[in-house]
Amino acid sequence: MTTPAEPWVEVLVDCPGLQSLFTYAIPAGLSVAPGDVLRVPLGSRTVGGIAIQARQQLPPEVNPEQVRPVTEVLSSQFFPAGYWALLSQLANYYQTPLIQVVRAALPPGLLRQAQRRIRLCALADADADALPPAARQLWDYLRQQPQGDYSWRHLQQKLPQAAAGLRVLLRQGWVESYWSQPDPPKPQFRQVATLVSSPEDKLTPQQQRVVDVLGHHGGVLEVTALKQAAQVSDAPLKRLATKGYLVIQAQETLRTGQNAGHRDQPKPLTPAQQRAVLAIQAAGRGPLLLHGVTGSGKTEVYLQALAPVLARGQAGLVLVPEIGLTPQLTDRFRARFGSQVLVYHSGLADGERYDTWRLALAGRPVVLIGTRSAVLVPLPNLGLIILDEEHDSSFKQEQPAPCYHARTVATWRAEEANCPLILGTATPSLETWEALRPTDRYLELPERIPPRPLPPVTVVDMRRELQVGNFSLFSRTLAEQLTSLPQQGHQAILFVPRRGFSSFVSCRSCGYVLGCPRCDTSLTYHQHSAGEGLHCHYCGWRQTQPDHCPQCESPYFKHFGCGTQRVVEALERHHPQLRVLRFDSDTTQTKDGHRKLLTAFAEGKADVLVGTQMLTKGLDLPRVTLVGILAADGLLHLGDYRAQERAFQLFVQVAGRAGRAEAPGHVILQTYTPDHPLLPYLLAYDYPGFMAQEAAGRQVLGYPPHGRLILLRLT
């Protein structure tokens, strides 16, 4: 008998609520590797589990006498090579227990949904007469069928003593038990109509409507949608089909998402796009920065960089910041790659998440689009990673554990998979900028398509408004522009920084912002049972809130706050003629809530969209000509060393929402600190200039990327 090199194994048992790993002994003759799917005893039951780590030694607090052996290995090499190394690297780097990483990475119920099956292995006639009755019964049952292969659940239902019988047969080696994936989701089909040639003879009005609607949708549409849009029954469709103008086919739909209604074709690339795509193809492994303003054609570059990857049979991973952004982007990927596109995020139902995860694991050429946790989905044969809006802070997971930054994990994955990682953005993070801008891995798309100037920015001094007696949330300039919107058929976006973000204290009269006397970070307003107080989030300084401005003695010295709801109320009061939609975490909670709101706005059902950070991203709304940034101060004075960078990025992003079509756009930024050093860079859209001065500031203080910070939280 051989003794395994590492006699102990830590197992994640499939029992929700259990937070720690359990240690089991590896019986002699059995080999267990990380990622293997096991059966292990737990109390009086046997449950599924995943081997996490083999151990040379038992933890000191564990008594070897009490360690039970692994019952069996159900499946090995279920996960792709390197996957467990990635999870361990994450656990190590972020000093997080591996079990928490594993829980974040695997879909809920992975083991429960899988099936244990039993099959005969000795087909030669064994001496069954000597078997005890329970085993004999099971043996006979299994042998009724030539393959002798049943799900364990089925056997337990049929034979009351199946468990006792199985123990004997397993020991004899006459049967084996294995782990099988549940059947892939049953394909669902739906009818799709495709226009195959343009009708030449005369059509009835109904038939004409069908042809028109189809033409409108690129020639392909689901039959039910088509009938609804054209307001016809089946008859005209059938007529068109018999005449050979139309083909009606069943097409598969997956639980993992809808097929796109139509396919779009790759666009001929601009020279800048062309250069980018070629550079990506030649890049080899590791990160590239794709820097292009909103509307400069980054998404088209992603699509064309992915096409050859899929053609080679490899998979692509596309990471996006928030779900609000996903619908429009996802639609474009689906339009290009159809059902090869999988979507993965925590808003999916467990079943969808599980299906998607399993499909990804199957190693087929798919594009997996997801939010940060998708970086942990196993994709064997990964050929390209794209991280869109790379500067976005939502790639960072803070709560619950594991804390990780999806951008960092993506670089490891690209390294491991030996593939490029495209970091795309209109506003690169300082880290990425400093690392890649000086290299040949910096790719720029300098112009919008078609070329249009970026909208000019007007800075409005809100202190002046106060002086002339305007106490409303809207400056006179903004109010004027809002009033003239509907006549011109234009739309506006009003951007209000997220509540809770704007909790610094400032003077409405002179713009003075109260900073920490020890470290100069903006102090943050807190309300608690003991009353109000101001805290410094960096050094822990605390003080009470002064009644008057220390600089000008003005009594208008308050913490700052201006939520979307207040803005909507103010609009209703001052501009009752405007139709307003609110877009924030309250109004977009339902599944598809984002999409519905954005679609309503895009269809012109409102004149003004009032929203938080969420609406700065991924929107292509051609009728928007005006962008108002209310309470810009809420961003300029955050208690965070990245505050300036974040503010600048947000302003550039939100400004990019204006004037994306024919009509030129305009941005109005309202502030109590119009001489803030950041604003000249914004007015000139001078990204390199801003980055240079920001980097200089960080260097002095040793902040990232010129130093590293570790957050240790003791609770």
Q: Where are the alpha helices (DSSP H) in 421-488?
A: 430-436, 462-467, 476-483, 485-488
In the DSSP assignment, the letter for residue 368 is: E
Q: Which of residues 544-583 bind Zn ion (CB under 5 A)?
A: 549, 551-552, 554
Task: Decide: is 516 part of the binding site for Zn ion (CB under 5 A).
Answer: yes
Q: Which of residues 339-398 bind ligand ADP (CB under 6 A)?
A: none
Residues 279, 642 contacting (CB under 8 angstroms): no
Interhelix angle 298-311/271-281, rounded to 10 degrees, is 40
- Output the smallest distance, CB 268 to ligand ADP, in A: 6
Residue closer to ligand ADP, measured from CB, 268 or 400: 268
Task: Decide: is 269 part of the binding site for ligand ADP (CB under 6 A).
Answer: yes
Residues 82, 416 contacting (CB under 8 angstroms): yes
Task: Decide: is 464 part of the binding site for Zn ion (CB under 5 A).
Answer: no
Q: How far is CA 177 from the centre of its chain?
A: 38
Task: Decide: is 653 part of the binding site for ligand ADP (CB under 6 A).
Answer: no
224-232, 267-275, 317-325, 557-565 -> range binding ligand ADP (CB under 6 A): 267-275
For residue 705, cis peptide bond before it (omega within 30 degrees of 0): yes
What value, to the nearest 5°, has the Cα angle with vertex 570 and ends 637 and 322?
A: 55
Phi and psi torsions of 508, nearest 5°:
-70, -20
For residues 117 and 112, give the distance between their C-alpha atoms in angstroms, rounded to a whole number.
13
- Output the smallest distance, CB 585 to ligand ADP, in A: 24
Task: Decide: is 270 part of the binding site for ligand ADP (CB under 6 A).
Answer: yes
Nearest to 230 by CA among 190, 195, 264: 195
Residue closer to ligand ADP, measured from CB, 13 or 619: 619
Single out the residue of 23, 137, 259, 296 in contact with ligand ADP (rule: CB under 6 A): 296
For residues 68 and 8, give the distance between their C-alpha atoms in angstroms, rounded to a whole number.
10
Tokens of 141: 């049952």
554 makes contact, choosing from Zn ion, ligand ADP, none, with CB < 5 to 8 Å by partner type, with: Zn ion
Task: Decide: is 429 part of the binding site for ligand ADP (CB under 6 A).
Answer: no
Single out the residue of 223, 307, 449, 692 in contact with ligand ADP (rule: CB under 6 A): 449
178 makes contact, choosing from ligand ADP, Zn ion, none, with CB < 5 to 8 Å by partner type, with: none
- Output the smallest distance, CB 465 to ligand ADP, in A: 34
Task: Decide: is 273 part of the binding site for ligand ADP (CB under 6 A).
Answer: yes
* Residue 151, Cβ density class (10 Å: 0-12 exposed, 13-18 middle, ≥19 buried): middle
Task: Decide: is 335 part of the binding site for ligand ADP (CB under 6 A).
Answer: no
200-208, 287-295, 588-596, 661-669 -> range binding ligand ADP (CB under 6 A): 287-295
Tokens of 85: 């190394």
Residue closer to ligand ADP, measured from CB, 325 or 667: 325
Task: Decide: is 682 part of the binding site for Zn ion (CB under 5 A).
Answer: no
Q: Which of residues 475-514 bind Zn ion (CB under 5 A)?
A: 507, 509-510, 512
Residue closer to ligand ADP, measured from CB, 210 or 301: 301
Task: Decide: is 661 part of the binding site for ligand ADP (CB under 6 A).
Answer: no
Q: What is the four-CA torsion angle of 583, 448, 321, 35, rounded to 10 degrees?
A: 150
- Output the smallest distance, CB 542 to Zn ion, in A: 10
For residues 467 and 125, give the distance between their C-alpha atoms in angstroms, rounded to a whole number.
100
Residue closer to Zn ion, measured from CB, 617 or 637: 637
Nearest to 272 by CA among 259, 291, 253: 291
Residue closer to ligand ADP, measured from CB, 292 or 383: 292
Single out the residue of 7, 48, 80, 292 in contact with ligand ADP (rule: CB under 6 A): 292
Host H or E run for residue 229: helix 223-230
295-303, 363-371, 554-562, 665-673 -> range binding ligand ADP (CB under 6 A): 295-303
126 makes contact, choosing from Zn ion, ligand ADP, none, with CB < 5 to 8 Å by partner type, with: none
Host H or E run for residue 46: strand 45-55
Count of residues engaged in binding ligand ADP, rule: CB under 6 A: 14
Host H or E run for residue 25: strand 22-25
Q: Is 262 helix (H, G, I), strand (E, B) or coil?
A: coil
Single out the residue of 36, 300, 431, 465 in contact with ligand ADP (rule: CB under 6 A): 300
- Output the smallest distance, CB 83 to ligand ADP, in A: 30
> Per-residue b/e over 535-558, b at no fewer than 16 CB within 10 Å?
bbebeebeeebeeebeeeeeebbe
Single out the residue of 25, 403, 519, 663 in contact with Zn ion (rule: CB under 5 A): 519
Task: Decide: is 267 part of the binding site for ligand ADP (CB under 6 A).
Answer: yes
Tokens 């008594």, located at residue: 63
Tokens of 652: 């550039």
Residues 563, 543 contacting (CB under 8 angstroms): no
Residues that bind Zn ion in the complex, under the rule CB under 5 A: 507, 509-510, 512, 516, 518-519, 536, 538-539, 541, 549, 551-552, 554
Which residues contact ligand ADP (rule: CB under 6 A)?
Answer: 267-270, 273, 292, 294-300, 449
